[in-house]
Structure 1
């Protein structure tokens, strides 16, 4: 078992995990996105690997705050292979991410999780996350 930084070689497996999260069709652009994230100083893209197989990944952004002393971290994507769930892999990745966030002077970590992901919500509640009632989004796509 190891948690390590993702590489471009992990693109296919991350694509598979995104498909399990109902994000199909990422193969056409995913390598480009991963390359961008790997270069970004305020991003950590990590994978959980066991027996040379990637079983999970997490993408975390570290965001400096102007008006607060502590910064915050945002989990943008987090997936554990459906055949490897309930084995503590997600817990290990989340705890590793919390430690990284603390090293980066973050005093909180947040994420957005769609209402249909009820099993994911149970996991986050067990990890100590609480629900914040307002999340606003403005689409920049033309209708």
Structure 2
């Protein structure tokens, strides 16, 4: 498998992958966000590719919180196509994320996962992650 930065030509495939997690985004908005990541030292979307087919993606961010020394890595999305799971693709994407974060001086990485995704929880724990906190979300109407 090859891991590379996501390109605007990947948008249709990325949309299908994100839908497998329940996220819906319009192709124009996704292209605009990918363009905003170009040249960023703190935001990166990667894809995993087998042959010419995009089979997974991971979205990375570096944050510098005021309340702690150092920088953190944040994975905002990781998805491997349902038909391609349990083949090491997710683990390879996590290794690529580690390289990105360590290269930017991050002292830790965090992510969230729905309470319902128990297979994903086992996967993250098998890859060195700990279940350490609760995640609270507030949605704004009409925003």
TM-score, normalisation: structure 1: 0.90
**Match of 1:9?**
9
Quote the Cα distance in structure 2 between the aligned partners of 1:60 and 1:25: 18
RMSD over aligned CA atoms reads 1.8
**Structure 1 residue runs without a partner (length 5+):** none
Deviation per CA, 1:85-125: give whole Å up to 9, x if none: 10001001101111211111001000011101111111101
Matched residues, number: 143
Q: Deviations over 1:51-78 (max 9, x none)?
A: 1110101000011234434310000011
Equivalence for 1:111: 111
Q: Which runs of 5+ in 2 are unaligned?
A: none
Q: Classify 1:28/1:75 alpha carbon distance in 2 versus 1 (closer, same or farther; 3 Å).
A: same
Change (3 A) 1:25 1:90: same
